[in-house]
């Protein structure tokens, strides 16, 4: 079943329709990243880094787009797109931050 979701593309300044399936995959990837950061004891530094990055998200997203050939060898396509979405989309950013905070507090589902 196709349930559309609207997201804002900061590169083209247009609203685009994204399948919920892609967003669900990104949510799973974010949960995996948060669990791994917690396991490594890096969840607090990750929160601090993401908060410091907030004013520069557009620039960081452009760097990620520009460096996709290099990142492509390090991350799978879905993970790469999830990272770019995390930086570009304020909703995804805030959800990931909330997930990191929940995991730090030990309330992860």
For 68-102, how does the pLDDT look when each residue is reduced to its tens digit (9 = 90+)? 777 777 777 788 888 888 888 888 888 898 898 88
Q: What pLDDT shows up at residue 73? A: 77
Q: Convert 61-78 to b/e letters by CB count within 10 Å (16 or more is b).
A: beebeeeeeebeeeeeee
pTM > 0.75: yes or no: no
Count of beta carbons in the 10 Å neighbourhood of residue 25: 15
Q: What pLDDT shows up at residue 40? A: 92
* CA dist., res. 15 & res. 19, Å (int): 13
């Amino acid at each position: 079943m196709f349930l559309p979701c609207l997201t804002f593309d900061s590169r083209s300044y247009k609203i685009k329709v994204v399948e919920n399936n892609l967003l669900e995959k990104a949510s799973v990837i974010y949960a995996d990243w948060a669990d791994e950061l917690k396991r490594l004891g890096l969840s607090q530094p990750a929160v601090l880094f993401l908060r410091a990055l907030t004013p520069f998200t557009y620039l960081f997203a452009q760097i990620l787009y520009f460096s996709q050939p290099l990142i492509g060898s390090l991350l799978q396509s879905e993970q790469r797109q999830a990272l770019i979405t995390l930086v570009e989309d304020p909703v995804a950013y805030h959800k990931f931050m909330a997930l990191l905070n929940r995991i730090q507090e030990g309330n992860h589902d």
